[in-house]
Structure 1
Amino acid sequence: MAEITRRGMLRHLAAAMTMAAVLLPGVGATAAEDSFPSQDIRFINAFSPGGTSDMLGRILADQLSKQLGHRVVVDNRTGAGGVIATQELARAAPDGHTILLASMGIMTITPQLQSVPYDVEKDITPIVKAASVYNVLVASPKSEIRTWQDLARLGKDAGRSPRCATVGAGSSQQLSCVLFASLTGARIDQVPYRGGAPAILDIAAGRVEVMFGNMPEFMGQIRDGGLRPVAYGAAEASPLLPDVPVISKTGLPDFVIPNWFGVVMPGGAAPAVVQRWNAEINKALEAPEVQRRFTENGLQRLGGTQEAFRQQIADDHARWGKVIREHGIRPE
């Protein structure tokens, strides 16, 4: 009850600040802008160090720290496919000093697969899309899987079920495994992890056969021979690995899995603070060092308006809701 009361007070305070900005044009906005940031920023990340989300978060945190004059500190809160991290954000004060790097799965898939202790529309404020990543199927070099057709064939073998690493219910990795199995008729066992890094280690060691995931976290092991790139789940091939085939163009047209990351903050935030964050993140995405690191790791810059991000969330919620219903996808 104390937590609910505290959150209610924060929401009322934020609403009062917003009303002041409306009644006194320029005054409320100026006050919010002048007082932000007044301390270091907590940048919550839903996944473990070493994965794509963590990599992207730290690239942005480095640049934003320079721009804002305060440290932007990455805080990894792993578990439950991003639910723990998102709940942390929803409980925070909506003053702009706590933000979250949210994935497509966190915002549009997880809430449709399981009950979550927050309302995505009311308790979370979208700020801006940050980046998109290529979805890639990789296999252990110790496995016999060299094409996506090999994976489908093995999954139909009555004597065995290939193991597919995921990072929890509602993630694009889980959606990829389940949708692939549904479209091909293969049986594939999911093995959940708290992040991409520990999953990759097990794939390289041969303890798990495959993983659909984000290209940036795979590149180091691919270059060193620790992972075998098999096919793209994305709509197009990346310039970094142009010879790897695209699943949707080689026999499975309905298999297209995009993934994006965006920055969000608690619900009830003052519009001036949201606008300031949107401007700062767009500025960070234009920084030469950020562009260089994105290119090297297979990240695609996005940016844009808050309204465009809000619409992306709504569109993907509808799209993946339809896929979930049509294919009977459930959390594993």
Structure 2
Amino acid sequence: MNRTGRTGRRAALGVIGAMAMMIGSQPVALASEAYPNRPIKMIIPYTPGGSIDTVGRLVAAQLQRQLGQAIVIENRPGASGMIGSEAVAKASADGYTLLFNASSQVYLPLVAKNASYDAIRDFTPIAQVGHVPLIVVANTSLPTSSLRDLVKLAKAKPRTYTWATSGLGTTSHLAEEMIRHAFKLEMDIVSYKGAVPQLNDVMGGHVSAAVSPMPGAYPFVKAGRLKVLAVTSSKRIPQLPAVPTVAESGLPGFELLSWYGLWGPANLPADITRKLSQEVNKAVREASLKARFEELAFETVQSTPEQFKVVIKDEIDKVAGIVKAASIRID
């Protein structure tokens, strides 16, 4: 009798425990299935119209179609991208505030003495989207048709010619510093809040030249408002087959690409991270986007969050060496 009673009580407790586990697991499953159930804010830490903004808006539009929720772009330029990045780092890790940024996201803390975020600790890598070459461009009135010519001009008249950069610590800035350091040029670098004001001042003749990613600069080249002197990829690109690489222009082995990706705040739930990563990979395979990306010389990649983490670590290791060799530092 007692044995039967004890067995009955154990069975009852087992059923209650199983039910509790089922009930307890439901909110997590439902939360996962429901995401996203409201608009997502995507912060781009530069001005509208630049390369990062152009690619980010293309990806956001496709994600919106796939997810069935609005993706609201919020441009937050300033402090070479730190203001927008910091806003995402401080946001709730719920998947409703994301960061679309370029490789400068991980480069800036390497060169900025007072960087307001840690590129690894403060963010969750979601997916690398792709990469693009940069092009060396100049004002159309400058008496030069190649990077070699610009180097000759700058050496003949030190401190006469200038570079414009889209922001300190950006790929644009690093490329200009590397070229300036390698050729021993006395060309000051003027910093702007994004590629649009950077290129506007080159076109206006306020600065001589710039290095800028293809998506933002190429339309001005096609329109005849900028002249292109070189590309930063290891090989010439189909869109500009007659334009030599920086490596061909006197710096053997030179290659620097700007890569773009999507991040969330630190501790973003794994299920949301995976879902977003899968959706980004699906988005960049969309035929209409692929055609547009090809025009911009933007090469997409497929990556998991884990693979993106490896890319970030490798890039930090590589660029840290470049920064040290060229003594690049922002106080």
Q: Does 1:112 align with 2:98?
A: no
Flag the 1:236–1:69 CA change in 2: closer, same or farther, 3 A. Answer: same
Name the counterpart of 2:29.
Answer: 30
* d(CA) in 2 for partners of 1:162, 1:288: 43
Flag the 1:26–1:292 CA change in 2: closer, same or farther, 3 A. Answer: farther
Q: Percent identity?
A: 28
**What is the DSSP-based 3-state SS (H/G/I as helix, E as strand, rest coil) of the residue aligned with 2:240?**
coil
- Give the superposition deviation at 1:249: 2.9
Equivalent pairs, count: 309
* CA shift digits 1:148-177 (9 cap, x unpaired): 112222222355331111012110111111
Flag the 1:159–1:172 CA change in 2: closer, same or farther, 3 A. Answer: closer
**What is the DSSP-based 3-state SS (H/G/I as helix, E as strand, rest coil) of the residue aligned with 2:121?**
helix
Task: Report if the CA contact (8 A) 1:90-1:123 is conserved.
Answer: yes
**What is the DSSP-based 3-state SS (H/G/I as helix, E as strand, rest coil) of the residue aligned with 2:120?**
helix
* d(CA) in 1 for partners of 2:80, 2:105: 7
* CA shift digits 1:16-53 (9 cap, x unpaired): xxxxxxx9998676334223112101000011111000
- Give the superposition deviation at 1:74: 0.8
- Give the superposition deviation at 1:285: 0.7
- Give the superposition deviation at 1:105: 1.3
Q: Does 1:63 align with 2:56?
A: no
Flag the 1:125–1:321 CA change in 2: closer, same or farther, 3 A. Answer: same
Q: Does 1:206 align with 2:205?
A: yes
User: Normalising by the residue count of structure 1, what TM-score does the alignment of the two structures yield?
Assistant: 0.89
2:36 aligned partner, one-letter code: P
Task: Report if the CA contact (8 A) 1:154-1:186 is conserved.
Answer: no
Name the counterpart of 1:149.
Answer: 148
* d(CA) in 1 for partners of 2:23, 2:237: 50
* d(CA) in 2 for partners of 1:330, 1:152: 23
Flag the 1:176–1:47 CA change in 2: closer, same or farther, 3 A. Answer: same
- Give the superposition deviation at 1:80: 0.9
Q: Does 1:239 align with 2:231?
A: no
Name the counterpart of 1:130.
Answer: 129
* d(CA) in 2 for partners of 1:43, 1:306: 18
Flag the 1:158–1:210 CA change in 2: closer, same or farther, 3 A. Answer: closer
1:315 aligned partner, one-letter code: D
* d(CA) in 1 for partners of 2:239, 2:96: 36
Task: Report if the CA contact (8 A) 1:231-1:247 is conserved.
Answer: yes
Flag the 1:25–1:173 CA change in 2: closer, same or farther, 3 A. Answer: farther
Q: Superposed, which structure 2 residues align to 1:81-100 within 5 Å?
A: 81-100=80-99
Name the counterpart of 1:258.
Answer: 257
Task: Report if the CA contact (8 A) 1:193-1:199 is conserved.
Answer: yes
* d(CA) in 2 for partners of 1:330, 1:155: 23
Q: Give the root-mean-square deviation of aligned CA atoms.
A: 1.9
2:68 aligned partner, one-letter code: G
User: Normalising by the residue count of structure 2, what TM-score does the alignment of the two structures yield?
Assistant: 0.89
2:198 aligned partner, one-letter code: A
Flag the 1:159–1:329 CA change in 2: closer, same or farther, 3 A. Answer: closer
Structure 2: where are the runs of 5+ without partners? 1-21
Task: Report if the CA contact (8 A) 2:166-2:212 is conserved.
Answer: no
- Give the superposition deviation at 1:101: 0.8
* d(CA) in 1 for partners of 2:166, 2:24: 46
1:58 aligned partner, one-letter code: R
**What is the DSSP-based 3-state SS (H/G/I as helix, E as strand, rest coil) of the residue aligned with 2:125?**
strand
**What is the DSSP-based 3-state SS (H/G/I as helix, E as strand, rest coil) of the residue aligned with 2:262?**
strand
Task: Report if the CA contact (8 A) 1:235-1:258 is conserved.
Answer: no
Flag the 1:80–1:212 CA change in 2: closer, same or farther, 3 A. Answer: same
* d(CA) in 2 for partners of 1:64, 1:203: 34
* d(CA) in 2 for partners of 1:122, 1:50: 30
Name the counterpart of 1:249.
Answer: 248
- Give the superposition deviation at 1:92: 0.6
* d(CA) in 2 for partners of 1:64, 1:26: 28
1:68 aligned partner, one-letter code: L
* CA shift digits 1:34-79 (9 cap, x unpaired): 2311210100001111100000111011111111111001100001
Task: Report if the CA contact (8 A) 1:32-1:272 is conserved.
Answer: no
**What is the DSSP-based 3-state SS (H/G/I as helix, E as strand, rest coil) of the residue aligned with 2:180?**
helix
2:310 aligned partner, one-letter code: Q
Q: Greater shift after overlay, 148-157 or 85-94?
A: 148-157
1:64 aligned partner, one-letter code: L
